[in-house]
Amino acid sequence: MLLQAQRQKVIEIALKAQRDKLIPLTMGNFSIRDKDTGYVCITPSGMEYSLLQPADIVIVDLYGTIIDGNRKPSIETQLHCRTYAKRADVFGICHTHSPYATAWACCGKEIPVIVAELAGMIGGPVKCAPYAPMGTIELANIVAEHIGSQNAVLLENHGMLAVGENIDQAYANAVVVEEGAKVTLYAVQIGGMKTITDQECKNLKKQTMESYGQK
């Protein structure tokens, strides 16, 4: 089977997102870009995650044309493909409707940086891409444009998208954005929120990239 290990990994991440409550039902989609072939392995549209088998994961090229698989790919396949096309450094994408991040997206507001992890992993405030209907090329283009060089972006009235150098990193970024969105909401309610400066965001990002985790 073409890219079986990558297909299996996509299922593992989708199940983890469901378990961690980053997505209601199957309202999210997950993909890996294979470094050798350049193909994208993406979750199928609207299938129960607990039943997914590697054969259910669809393989498409960067234009979204199906290369292998019998299922209909996620309606957001173009969202993934356009983002990969724009970002040569990205090999994993998680799109979720996690509630706290989506709440910020529904107000069309970026999430300011008040927690150090957000600075370290995302690189600055999580910006909000303007609204476009789900599953459209218009949405794919707007999001690919607005993510810039950062590791996450909000989708107005919709959800969030996180990217990474692999799908584990993209997943970690999705979790950090959701936690950041939650803490920031509480901080706003308490009042007197203090944001981390742009310069300190840069320092924390550099520090995280250089020294966090087991090298």
Give the residue numbers annotated as catalytic, written as ranges: 76
Using CB under 5 A, pick the residue from 159, 161, 170, 196 that binds Zn ion. Answer: 159
> Which region among 116-124, 151-159, 194-202, 206-214 touches Zn ion (by CB under 5 A)?
151-159
Q: Which residue has the tokens 């290990």?
A: 5
Query: Given the DSSP bridges, would you call strands 128-129 and 66-68 parallel, antiparallel or unpaired?
Result: unpaired
Q: Backbone phi, then psi, for 138, in 5-degree steps?
A: -55, -45
Query: Whole-number minimum distance, CB 153 to Zn ion, in Å?
Result: 13
Q: Which is nearer to Zn ion, 105 or 167 (CB)?
A: 105
Query: Whole-number minimum distance, CB 102 to Zn ion, in Å?
Result: 9
- Total number of residues that touch Zn ion (CB under 5 A): 1
Distance CA 92, CA 32 (A): 5
Query: Whole-number minimum distance, CB 60 to Zn ion, in Å?
Result: 17
Q: Which is nearer to Zn ion, 5 or 25 (CB)?
A: 25
Query: Whole-number minimum distance, CB 122 to Zn ion, in Å?
Result: 19
- What is the SS3 assignment for 30? strand
Distance CA 61, CA 107 (A): 34
Q: Which is nearer to Zn ion, 113 or 152 (CB)?
A: 152
73 is an interface residue for Zn ion by CB under 5 A: no
Q: Which is nearer to Zn ion, 159 or 164 (CB)?
A: 159
Burial of 15 (C-beta count, 10 Å sphere; 0-12/13-18/19+): middle
Could you tell me how far CA 73 lies from the centroid of its own chain?
Answer: 17
